[in-house]
Amino acid sequence: MTQPSARIGVYICHCGTNIAGTVDVAALREYAATLPHVVVARDYKYMCSDPGQELIKTDIAENGLNRVVVAACSPHLHEHTFRSACEEAGLNPYLCHMVNIREHDSWVHTGPAATEKAKDLLRAAVQRVVWNEPLERRQIPIRQSVLVVGGGIAGIHAALTLANAGKKVYLVEREPSIGGHMAMFDKTFPTLDCAACILTPKMTAVKSNPNITLWTYSEVISVEGYVGDFRVQVRRKPRYVIEDLCVGCLECVEACVYKQPKFADEFNLGLSKRKPIYLPFPQAVPQVVLIDPETCIEFKSGKCKKTCVEACGERNAIDFNQKETIETIEVGAIILATGYQTFDASRISYYGYGTYPNVYTALEVERLINASGPTGGELVLRDGRKPRTVGIIHCVGSRDEHTNRWCSRVCCMYSLKLAHLVKERTGAEVYNFYIDMRTPGKGFEEFYNRVAEEGVHFIRGKVADVYPANGDGQLTLKVEDTLLGQVRKIPVDMVILAVGLEPRADATEVRRMFNISCSSEGWFLERHPKLAPVNTFTDGIFLAGCCQGPKDIPDTVAQAGAAAAEAFQLLDLSAIEMEPNTAYVLEGVCSGCKTCVGLCPYNAISFLADKHVAHINEALCKGCGTCVAACPSGSIRQHLFEDEQIFEEVHGIMA
Amino acid sequence: MPETTAPNGQSQAADFEPKIVAFFCNWCTYLAADLAGTSRLRYAPNVRVVRVMCSGRVDPQFVLEAFAQGADGVLIGGCHPGDCHYQEGNYKALRRYHLLRRMLEQMGVEPERFRLEWISASEGERLRAVVNDMVEKVRALGPLRKNAAAQLLEEATVR
């Protein structure tokens, strides 16, 4: 590698006052002009704007630039912009290098030190870019199918959007039915649409869409590959019922040797019972029963009369010998829609959840007031009485430094909805205990006013204690009413805890499997909070719904649509260009020591026995550079991160 | 760089501003520094970041060269164990770090001057804390001793 005769243009962005308010851009420009090989140095208010890019293009043409340095924001934001501008002007995009003087400088430092740092970084870039070489991007074909993980409303909407656009979709859901949390709700705020009425048509559309392969009761167990070509293994758990043969007639359930349901029903959160053979809930998709081997007599003793098999008759759908299967699929993109879990209310002991029977979580109450729920939609206490007074405690496991610090965004609104429904169904007096009422959203504030006008009581204060009132089974809520400025004790028949949303317990394992990042709270991290909210830092993997953070149904659906559009856009390219920062071997220098071979996590390095040298398969190389750093003879090199380039960056910093 | 060197080679000047060369991986620590920026977290302006795709790309020669050129400290930032974008590059970085650290110590470079830290993309606050802590510790040590640097210059001719 020899140093070519470089003609460098340096462009310094003001970013309005974001950079220019801290860094002396004029001094930086003057300094840049003094650096070797710099032919032109300019500063401009917004380099990323069209006129800003035009400056670069014009200079490339008129000043014969063969290198460009842009000192602006993070390359994660605009490297693509400036490389493209260079490319449009006929300069190889990899002869452009960015200097981060915003995120790494003007936004975190003050005074002359910020300008000094900018000079150092700029000098480093100018020295480095001299050694940059023109590179070509590799073309990788994209598989024309998408994996959607999670069959809640987010995954359902994303899958349908893609399938309706003609793309092949694999929808993988852990539970025996799709539907997610939304299927458990009664009404949705603020319009009070029946959740099932708007969700179940979409669920059946998933089942009937020929472009969707629906795998419920299944989990992704491994992910390999990269954008355009992911290889995914899915474990399909045995339901002991052959999906293709079961018609959902439920005669087997009727015929089960257990005449009455006896075991806690998961879908109803244990508020009702089911048999060992059961349909998760009436509108389940697929309409296929499953057998719980933990409770089925045949599995426990092998001595059941198997009346279910008898009832199934010629359909022969029941198979006690069914084994789990592992399916391998190849997809071009992945949408993660793995959702959330609700806060475990027993973690806050003074609210008495799990201790006092009439303390419920909001999700349990959703089931209780649901027409298909355990009580047929009647809101009753555990002893069958109707509650006359109900207290709803907001922010349980939200906005609390002892549990979760974030606002879960949906609890105020669903608490208002529950207040309305409880009052409508039972005529009870309803008290809402809130810290702040948060109702930003279309029609939300109006709904709040409506519920207030209906006579629901609102008490601003955090409930400090829940304890039994004298004798009659009531519970007393002790709260400081911060508007009255006094402590109040309010007796109620029923307490509803507005539990917050939190990342699923296995979110860390899931994100590692898919090689994406999490926020410090554990939500999956988007590529950019504003401009790439459904992308991740791993190309080809997108996010939808609450796995990225708490959100309501409209936002979830909007985000799922966006994720589907991103995946569609990717697939529609039919081939994508890969960054050319791969490693390569100088065969004449390689000593054949094989140090590198075992280091590569992608098995991209092989040993050519005939030539006694290492060989790197460029199609498999992801460009991490580990082998480059390890090569004792310096025969492995990396495009775009050549030793000379990095040494020169260091020299530039220290010069 | 303002600098006063005492006879023993150790600067005690209060106005000594150390210069630290950092190698941050593209996927975690570089993004943590971006996040510190968008969050407007103020921290010591003494660190200059060289972006590499993975901490596993950091060739020990880069570190030696930075010290040889007079850097008062070198900081490598990578993803937390188990989180590497390239599966295990950070483990490779860790192995080299331990060897290199011992070698540098024998050359007279104090261990506080060379650090490897795991900082994830969401840890802007940690990025600030690590940088501030390292700058304070290196400031307390004073500039890299010239004799150590000279020795390095002689020995680091592996290029």
Q: Identify all chain B residues contacting A654, using CB atoms and an 8 Å cutoff.
A: 19, 21, 66, 69-71
Q: Identify all chain B residues contacting A531, using CB atoms and an 8 Å cutoff.
A: none
Specify the DSSP element, H or E, that contains A187: strand A187-188
Tokens of A427: 């005529």
- Return left, alpha or beta for A473; rule: phi > 0 is left, psi -120 to 50 is alpha, else beta: left
Interchain contact B54–A (C-beta under 8 A): yes
Q: Identify all chain B residues contacting A517, using CB atoms and an 8 Å cutoff.
A: 27-28, 31, 83, 120-122
Mean pLDDT of A382-397: 95
Inter-chain contact B37–A124, Cβ cutoff 8 Å?
Answer: no
Say yes or no to pLDDT of A1 above 80: no
Helix (H, G, I), strand (E, B) or coil at B121: coil
pLDDT number for residue B156: 63
pLDDT number for residue B148: 63
Say yes or no to pLDDT of A3 above 70: no
CA angle (A421, A422, A425) in 5-degree steps:
80
Inter-chain contact B38–A103, Cβ cutoff 8 Å?
Answer: yes
Of B82, B74, B90, B72, the C-alpha closest to B25 is B90
Test the A interface: residue of B28, B42, B49, B157 with most A CBs within 10 Å: B49
Give the whole-angstrom CA distance, residue A386 versus residue A25: 71
Residue B153 C-alpha, separation from nearest chain A C-alpha, in angstroms: 13
Inter-chain contact A520–B122, Cβ cutoff 8 Å?
Answer: yes
Interchain contact B81–A (C-beta under 8 A): no
Mean pLDDT score across all residues of chain A: 96
Say yes or no to pLDDT of A267 above 50: yes
The predicted-structure confidence for A87-120, as pLDDT tens digits, reads as follows: 999 999 999 999 999 999 999 999 999 999 999 9
Give the whole-angstrom CA distance, residue A535 versus residue B114: 35
Q: Identify all chain A residues contacting B1, using CB atoms and an 8 Å cutoff.
A: none
Inter-chain contact B62–A638, Cβ cutoff 8 Å?
Answer: no
- Return left, alpha or beta for A154; rule: phi > 0 is left, psi -120 to 50 is alpha, else beta: alpha
Q: Over its length of 159 residues, how does chain B's per-residue pLDDT go in tens digits?
A: 444 444 444 445 567 999 999 999 999 999 999 999 999 999 999 999 999 999 999 999 999 999 999 999 999 999 999 889 998 999 999 999 999 999 999 988 999 999 999 999 999 999 999 999 999 999 999 998 766 656 666 666 554
Tokens of A40: 């032109």
The predicted-structure confidence for A558-614, as pLDDT tens digits, reads as follows: 999 999 999 999 999 989 888 999 999 999 999 999 999 999 988 899 999 999 999
The predicted-structure confidence for A510-524, as pLDDT tens digits, reads as follows: 999 998 989 889 999
Inter-chain contact B56–A538, Cβ cutoff 8 Å?
Answer: no
Q: Identify all chain A residues contacting B159, using CB atoms and an 8 Å cutoff.
A: 643, 647
Q: How does DSSP assign B11-57, residue by residue?
A: ---TT----EEEEEETTTHHHHHHHHHHTT----TTEEEEEES-GGG
Binding-face residues of B in 86-125 toward A, CB within 8 A: 86-89, 92, 96, 120-123
The predicted-structure confidence for A136-186, as pLDDT tens digits, reads as follows: 998 889 999 999 999 999 999 999 999 999 999 999 999 999 999 999 999
Specify the DSSP element, H or E, that contains A44: strand A38-44
Quick check: A545 and A154 in contact, CB under 8 A?
Answer: yes
Inter-chain contact A626–B48, Cβ cutoff 8 Å?
Answer: no
Phi and psi dihedrals of A127, rounded to 5? -65, -35
Inter-chain contact A628–B49, Cβ cutoff 8 Å?
Answer: no
Of B59, B140, B67, the C-alpha closest to B97 is B59
Inter-chain contact B49–A104, Cβ cutoff 8 Å?
Answer: yes
Residue B71 C-alpha, separation from nearest chain A C-alpha, in angstroms: 7
pLDDT number for residue B146: 64
Inter-chain contact A601–B86, Cβ cutoff 8 Å?
Answer: yes
- Provide the ipTM: 0.89
Q: Identify all chain B residues contacting A642, using CB atoms and an 8 Å cutoff.
A: none
Q: Identify all chain B residues contacting A102, using CB atoms and an 8 Å cutoff.
A: 37
Return the axis-axis angle of helices B124-141 and B29-38, rounded to nearest 10°: 100
Inter-chain contact A107–B31, Cβ cutoff 8 Å?
Answer: no
Q: Which of A20-24, A61-65, B142-146, B152-156 has the lowest mean pLDDT?
A: B152-156
From B28, B33, B40, residue closest to A104, measured CB to CB = B33
List, edge to edge, every strand of the sheet that includes A168-172: A212-215, A168-172, A145-149, A333-336, A541-543
Residue B81 C-alpha, separation from nearest chain A C-alpha, in angstroms: 11
Inter-chain contact B37–A108, Cβ cutoff 8 Å?
Answer: yes
Say yes or no to pLDDT of A2 above 50: no
pLDDT band at residue A554 using 50, 70 and 90 as cut-offs = very high
pLDDT number for residue B6: 44
Binding-face residues of B in 132-151 toward A, CB within 8 A: none
Residue A651 C-alpha, separation from nearest chain B C-alpha, in angstroms: 7
Within 10 Å of residue A269's Cβ, how many Cβ atoms?
19
In terms of pTM, does the model score above 0.80?
yes
Residue B8 C-alpha, separation from nearest chain A C-alpha, in angstroms: 23
Test the A interface: residue of B17, B20, B46, B92 with most A CBs within 10 Å: B92
Give the whole-angstrom CA distance, residue A274 versus residue A317: 20
The predicted-structure confidence for A178-236, as pLDDT tens digits, reads as follows: 999 999 999 999 999 999 999 999 999 999 999 999 999 999 999 998 899 999 999 99
Test the A interface: residue of B30, B35, B48, B91 with most A CBs within 10 Å: B48
Phi and psi dihedrals of B82, rounded to 5? 90, -15
Quick check: A505 and A341 in contact, CB under 8 A?
Answer: yes
Inter-chain contact A629–B71, Cβ cutoff 8 Å?
Answer: no
Inter-chain contact A624–B56, Cβ cutoff 8 Å?
Answer: yes
